[in-house]
């Protein structure tokens, strides 16, 4: 469906907290480059994540082949087997949010569709990425739903966050970076987002956090938690490099009005203390949580702010179980739960 835009056909991207049919993941391979020297140590975190999700909904996992499917099913033996579905869709890296299909929904049949954006490994930071670039169309084909070909536009799922009511959040540091769409200006990028995601309003933040090799994905800094409310991370240490950019983003959010003229409701979320490995600052952030049907997966880092972040999410999502999982190994891959997942909306809801 290359000639038609999703918005012109009535499709739009639902909010993450709306009902899911499933959550998608891409299982990491021993040869992937995301976890150098620590692949075996990171697998237990993937297992905990998948098991927690399987208690909430179906988990659909991209695996290389039948052999890897057998390995994954053995690792997930504690999860209800009917909740684990494997698809033989090859990937290079496990970051399904960024390389996977973005699912859209409309009220008329067919109700679901998949977006196939172009993927260039976060501005050519990892290679190879050819398998990752083919994942969205294969996911859509596996489900038998229409696939919109938007491969003329480079976009990762972690660079956007929607409220399900016509508004998308993103960052200038990522979407205006010349390593993504160098021939497009801000106005043209906004038009691409509107026609692809079915939104009317694009809200821009500035820079992301230190150590984020995605050039500032919004899912590490600010997240919609309702149509009118965002959680945004704030750094309290004035000497931390994250202090100024996060404060500038906070100021922008407080000055933001929603399309109807209502001010955006802004709630603060703490930042964890610095996580450093091999002299590298890693992009640890509580904002990289994932909202499933019955739970919220929260990355934690073995420190005092973990409980504070969990308590804030519990207030925001009182009907969901807050599942805190230690991500001190996972963050070596420069991402956490939101980066690794992609929600498939429930049809007919």
Annotated catalytic residues are: 339
Paired tokens of 85: 């579905």
Within 10 A of 106 (CB to CB), how many other CB atoms are there? 17
What separation in angstroms does the CA of 172 have from each of 4, 111, 189, 288, 290? 27, 32, 11, 19, 23
20: which strand partners? 345
Task: Report the C-alpha gap between 108 and 10 in whole angstroms.
Answer: 8
Torsion of the alpha carbons at 139, 160, 165 and 20, rounded to the nearest 10: 40
Closest CA to 232 of 280, 287, 182: 287
Counting beta carbons within 10 angstroms of the beta carbon of residue 185, is it exposed (0 to 12), middle (13 to 18) or buried (19 or more)?
A: exposed
Contacts of 73 by beta carbon, 8 Å cutoff, 6+ apart? 81, 84, 86
Cβ pair 187, 174 in contact under 8 A: no
Task: Report the C-alpha gap between 112 and 114 in whole angstroms.
Answer: 7
Determine the 3-state secondary structure of 165 from DSSP. Answer: coil
């Amino acid at each position: 469906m290359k000639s038609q835009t999703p918005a012109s056909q009535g499709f739009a991207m639902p909010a993450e907290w709306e009902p899911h049919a499933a959550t998608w993941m891409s299982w990491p391979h021993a040869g992937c480059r995301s976890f150098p020297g620590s692949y075996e140590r990171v697998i237990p975190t993937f297992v905990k994540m998948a098991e927690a999700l399987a208690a909430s909904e179906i988990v659909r996992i991209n695996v290389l082949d039948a052999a890897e499917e057998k390995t994954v099913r053995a690792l997930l033996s504690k999860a209800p087997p009917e909740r684990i579905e494997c698809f033989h869709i090859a990937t290079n890296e496990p970051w399904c949010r960024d390389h996977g299909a973005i699912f859209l929904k409309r009220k008329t049949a067919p109700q679901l569709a998949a977006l196939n954006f172009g993927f260039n490994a976060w501005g050519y930071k990892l290679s190879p990425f050819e398998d990752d670039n083919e994942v969205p169309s294969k996911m859509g084909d596996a489900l038998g739903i229409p696939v919109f070909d938007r491969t003329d536009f480079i976009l990762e799922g972690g660079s956007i966050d929607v409220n399900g009511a016509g508004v998308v959040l993103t960052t200038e540091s990522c979407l205006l970076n010349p390593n993504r769409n160098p021939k497009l200006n801000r106005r043209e990028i906004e038009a691409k987002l509107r026609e692809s995601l079915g939104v009317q309003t694009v809200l821009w933040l500035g820079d992301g956090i230190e150590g984020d090799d995605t050039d500032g994905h919004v899912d590490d800094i600010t997240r919609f938690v309702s149509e009118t409310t965002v959680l945004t991370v704030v750094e309290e240490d004035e000497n931390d490099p994250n202090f100024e950019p996060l404060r500038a983003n906070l100021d922008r959010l407080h000055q933001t009005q929603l399309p109807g003229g209502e001010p955006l409701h802004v709630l603060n979320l703490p930042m964890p203390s610095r996580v450093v490995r091999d002299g590298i600052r890693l992009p640890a952030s509580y904002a990289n949580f994932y909202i499933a049907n019955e739970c919220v997966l929260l990355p934690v880092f073995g420190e005092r702010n973990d409980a504070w972040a969990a308590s804030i999410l519990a207030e925001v999502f009182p009907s969901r179980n807050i599942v805190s999982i230690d991500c001190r190994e996972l963050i070596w891959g420069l991402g956490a739960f939101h980066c690794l997942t992609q929600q498939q909306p429930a049809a007919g809801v």
